[in-house]
Amino acid sequence: MTEDNTSPTDRKRVLIVDDDAEIVEAVRYALQAAGYDVSVARDGNQGLAMAETLDPDLLILDMMMPKRSGFLVLEKIRRSDSDVVPVIMITANEGSRHQAYAEMLGVNDYIKKPFAMDRLIDSVNKLITQGSDG
C-alpha cells in the first residue's frame, strides 16, 4: 500500500502520447503528484501499441507527432475500442477546424498549448471520475 491508502493496482492509469520531452515531464510529474500511474509514448505508433496493452483509464494525446498524428491515433482507438477511453487532446495548433475534427472523432477535451497545469489536472480528474461512475 502507498501512503494515500491505494495499492498500485487501484491507481488510475494515464497514458501520455507526446513527442515534446518538456511537456511530457511536466505533465507526468503533475499527474504522479495527483496520484496517477503514468506511462509515456513518444510517437503515435508507440502510443497505439501502449494503449492496447496497458488499457489506460485516460489518454492525453498530442495532435502533431512523428510516425502517426494524434488524429490518426484517435481514429484508430475509437474504431477498435468498444470500451471508450476518455481522450484529452493537447495541441499548439490554433485552428478551429482541427478542434472541430477532434470533437467529431470523439475527443473528450481539447486543450491548447501553452496551458495551465491545473486546467489539465482538473480535466483528467473529471473525466476519470465520470468514466468510473458509468
**Is it the case that residue 3 has pLDDT exceeding 70?**
no
pLDDT of 6 higher than 70: no
CA distance 46 to 122: 26
Q: How high is the pLDDT of residue 2?
A: 44
Q: Which residues on adjacent β-strands are paired with residue 60?
A: 16, 88
Q: How confident is the model at residue 1, as a pLDDT?
A: 44
Round to whole Å and give the CA distance between 58 and 51: 9
* Overall pTM surpassing 0.85 (yes/no): yes
Look at residues 101, 107, 26, 94 and name the one whose alpha carbon lies nearest to residue 59.
Answer: 107
pLDDT in tens, 83-101: 789 999 999 888 889 999 9
- pLDDT tops 90 at residue 4: no
For residue range 7-34, what is the model confidence (pLDDT) as tens digits? 555 799 999 999 999 999 999 999 999 9
Question: Checking phi first, is residue 37 left (phi over 0); if not, alpha (psi -120 to 50) or beta?
Answer: beta
pLDDT the model gives residue 126: 97
Structural domains for the chain: 13-123 (3.40.50.2300)
DSSP symbols for 90-120: EES---HHHHHHHHHTT-SEEEESS--HHHH
Q: Residues 35, 1: contact at Cβ < 8 Å?
A: no
